[in-house]
Amino acid sequence: MFSMAKVLSTAQRVQIVSALVEANSLRATARVAGVSRNTVNKLLRDLGAACAIQQGETIGKLQTKRVEVDEIWSFVGMKQANVDEDLPENVGDVWTFLALDADSKLCISWMVGSRDTETATNFLTDVEGRLARRVQLTTDGHAMYLEAVDRAFDRNVDYAQLVKRYGASPESEHRYSPAKSIGCENSREIGRPNPALVSTSFVERQNLTMRMSIRRFTRLTNAFSKKLEQHCAAIALHFAYYNLCRPRSSVRTKGNNRVTPSMAAGLEKRQWKVEDLLALLPPVEHKGGRAKTREI
């Protein structure tokens, strides 16, 4: 038997969060930590909300020069093809938009929504509000970005699209293999972007980091998100940990020391620990009384 009303210790919380940010599932984390899955779920939801607020309030006035934007697919509950009218809202395909500083590797902003002009405009408006100077912006060739960038930046940007062309997938691995890339070209859309700096390589690498670090983004498993709230909480925790706690090998100081993206962007002077993320949570009040228990 175990207590359902027991307040987790700091060590237990650190263990749970450390497991979650390294792509462990809720059930696996619960087994390792010796707690219930609901306990892990609640900590993820609460900490994810706190991380989203912290990042939203502290990332701003950035002296960024180059921004790369991309979107990554996932789904909540089931894939869009299986959704019918009788199912609740917030079920089906969702897209996570991401803006990355190409130099510091800082995640400037992210947003979950539909892959359409409205979501892209809202997302890029948020990105523009966090920048302190005119930047060079690169996206892929999706048509929604043309109108969204114009609306969000009011043409105060050097914007180019990187349009990639793909061929057929290998016949033997048609279902799970990506299409073969047969070339790409730059398309100048607004301002005077430097052709040599037009790239989406770093933000696409971040897409891989997300799939490797967030269990619910892993393909061909049953670890997909069941609720949109938990999906957003996991993403918020990932980017807070990525920005504040995780030094990048490609980002170094003059002394050749690895630093976190937040340190490289001048937002923080030190590397955060998981305990610092947990300090974002409000204090836990123990109400006392008899603990509820159940058999397992």
Give 181's pLDDT tier (boundaries 50, 70, 90): low
Contacts of 270 (CB under 8 A, 6+ apart): 263
Using the CB atoms, write b or e for 137-153: b if 16+ within 10 Å.
Answer: bbbbebebbbebbbbbb
Predicted pLDDT of residue 294: 41
CB 219 within 8 A of CB 86: no
- Taking residue 38's Cβ as centre, other Cβ atoms within 10 Å add up to 11
Pull the structure tokens for residue 7.
């307040």
Average pLDDT over residues 135-139: 98
Phi, psi for residue 146 in degrees, rounded to 5? -60, -50
The residue among 52, 51, 60, 123 whose CA lies nearest residue 265 is 60
CA gyration radius, the chain: 21
Closest CA to 162 of 64, 68, 97: 68
Query: 50-82 pLDDT, tens per residue?
Result: 999 999 999 999 999 999 999 999 999 999 888
Answer yes or no: are the C-beta atoms of 218 and 234 closer than 8 Å. Answer: no
Nearest to 98 by CA among 175, 187, 209: 209
With a CB cutoff of 8 Å and minimum separation 6, the contacts of 43 are: 8, 13, 16, 17
Q: How many domains does the chain have?
A: 1
43: left (phi over 0), alpha (psi -120 to 50) or beta: alpha
Tell me: the pLDDT tens digits for 233-255? 999 999 999 999 999 888 877 67
Q: Check residue 296 and give its pLDDT.
A: 35
Between 7-16, 19-28, 130-139, 287-296, the lowest mean confidence (pLDDT) is in 287-296
Domain range enclosing 142? 2-294
Distance CA 224, CA 78 (A): 8
DSSP label of 60: -
Phi, psi of 164 (to 5 degrees): -105, 145
Residue 5, pLDDT score: 44
For residue 271, what are its two tokens?
A: 């590397």
Residue 258 has which token pair?
Answer: 């690895």
112: tokens are: 């979950």
Residue type, 280: L
Sheet holding 107-113, edge to edge: 107-113, 92-101, 66-76, 136-140, 158-166, 181-190
- Rounded Cα distance between 78 and 229, Å, is 15
Q: Pairing mode, if any, of strands 293-294 and 2-3? A: antiparallel
Question: What CATH number has the domain bearing residue 186?
Answer: 3.30.420.10
**pTM for the whole structure:** 0.89
Lowest-pLDDT range of 23-27, 35-39, 118-122, 174-178? 174-178
Round to whole Å and give the CA distance between 25 and 17.
Answer: 11
Q: Report helix, strand or coil for 210.
A: helix
